[in-house]
Amino acid sequence: MTVLTPIPLTADAFAPFGHVLSLPTGPGRVDYSSFSQNLRGSAAEVCFRTGMTQPSAVPLVTRTMERHEFSSQAFLPVDVARYLVLVAPHGADGLPDPEQLTLFLAKGDQGISYNANVWHHPMTVLDRPAIFATVMFLDGGDKDEEFVDLPHEVSVTLGKMRMPRVITKPEPL
């Protein structure tokens, strides 16, 4: 079994898999259109959804990976604390390469856009239920979503979590 601990989600580290979507920090709009990929052309329609995901307990043991071969998939946080992003490049067989899995820890003000054809684990949120807006392109075919199992289980953990130190006053004698 492979045990993974996350690294912080940054634009540079995530670049091989997609884009980090920063939320506005002041008045104005942020346009994410340039990150959208529809490799089917007019055969697919944009799908814009919101959904709630329940938090997962960690460590999380999984084998599941998914991809959207012809579409990017963006997740914009609406009400989110933290979440995990597990990705893998393609191996020689076209399936996720289990030796190159990468786990990121995302903050609630960071969105992501997976490039088309990127292997990733389904959304894994921490701390509390989370609401995301999701945008992708679908044509209703069997390649809209493809799920596969890794050859072995992967344990996703937050690493060595230290408990906060609690200082108490000594009891009077």
Helix ranges restricted to H, the chain: 11-14
Whether the full predicted model's pTM is greater than 0.85, yes or no, is yes
Give residue 150's pLDDT: 96
Give residue 160's pLDDT: 56
Asked whether the CA dihedral 120, 126, 129, 134 is positive or negative, the reply is negative
Short-list 130, 156, 112, 161, CA closest to 55: 130
Compute mean pLDDT per 10 residues along the chain, 173 residues long, and list them: 90 96 91 92 92 93 96 96 96 95 95 98 96 96 94 87 37 45
Domains and CATH numbers, the chain: 2-23+35-156 (2.60.120.480)
Give residue 41's pLDDT: 82
